[in-house]
Amino acid sequence: MKLWYAIASPFARKVMILAHEAGIAAQIEIVDTATSPLKTDASLLPHNPLGKIPTLLLEDGHVLFDSRVICEYLDSIHDGEKLFPQSGMDRYNALVTQSIGDGIMDAAVLTRYEKAMRPENKQWQEWIDGQMAKIITALDTLEMWRGAKLPEMHIGSISVAAALGYLELRYPDFDWRKDRPVLTQMYATFSKRTSMIETDPNKG
């Protein structure tokens, strides 16, 4: 399998965290990809019309995207403990937690594009503030309502770990740990796992 990937992409990292946790990371060939809304990677576009990473090419030629679809597929091809709970409210709670983690990543990536790519005199501060407000309310919701299940390993906590890692990388001045002991503890514990260490964007 071939994965279009960038070490700084939180969505791509989410996929590789899951692959490590599932014990199948070695089956994935990484294609380092530089893609952005301004310049799409030429090798990627024929496979993904959205030009986004992560994108996964299977041995039989099928192509999968986005991170949710890829994660669900990878979880279906290993024999270990499943990372998507199979049924009932456990499953839907994990999926909603995934949606919150993904939502934090969406807001953080879009804000990063706004700040890093758009000319300074065209940047829209109210829009940036609106995205940051989403990140804050999402973190507060995780802290208050989802704490009990967060320390467990499932697709929801994987997505949240990838999101927190991205905040660390791109928003070093944003103190997301303040008044959030549950998330702080969860991230500290997750960060010691091989899946997080191997996918750490600061890894040399």
Ligand X SMILES: N[C@@H](CCC(=O)N[C@@H](CS)C(=O)NCC(=O)O)C(=O)O
SS3 56: strand
The site for ligand X, by CB under 6 A, has a size of: 15
The residue within the footprint of ligand X, chosen from 3, 5, 11, 101 (CB under 6 A), is 11
Q: Which is nearer to ligand X, 35 or 180 (CB)?
A: 35
Query: Which one of 66-74, 116-124, 131-139, 193-201 is the stretch in contact with ligand X (CB under 6 A)?
Result: 66-74
**Residue number with the shortest CB distance to ligand X?**
66
How deeply is 133 buried, as exposed, middle or buried, from its count of CB atoms within 10 A (0-12, 13-18, 19+)? exposed
The rounded distance, in Å, linking the Cα atoms of 66 and 156 is 15
Count other C-beta atoms under 10 Å from residue 3's C-beta.
22
Q: In what order do the strands lie in the sheet with 29-32?
A: 29-32, 2-5, 55-57, 63-64
What is the footprint of ligand X within residues 92-121 (CB under 6 A)? 102, 109
Q: Rounded to an integer, what is the distance from CA 38 to the centroid of its chain?
A: 21
Query: Does 72 participate in binding ligand X (rule CB under 6 A)?
Result: no
The residue within the footprint of ligand X, chosen from 53, 160, 161, 162 (CB under 6 A), is 53
Query: Does 66 participate in binding ligand X (rule CB under 6 A)?
Result: yes
Retrieve residue 12's tokens. Answer: 């791509």
SS3 161: helix
Query: Which one of 48-56, 77-85, 114-122, 189-197 is the stretch in contact with ligand X (CB under 6 A)?
Result: 48-56
Q: Which is nearer to ligand X, 83 or 180 (CB)?
A: 83
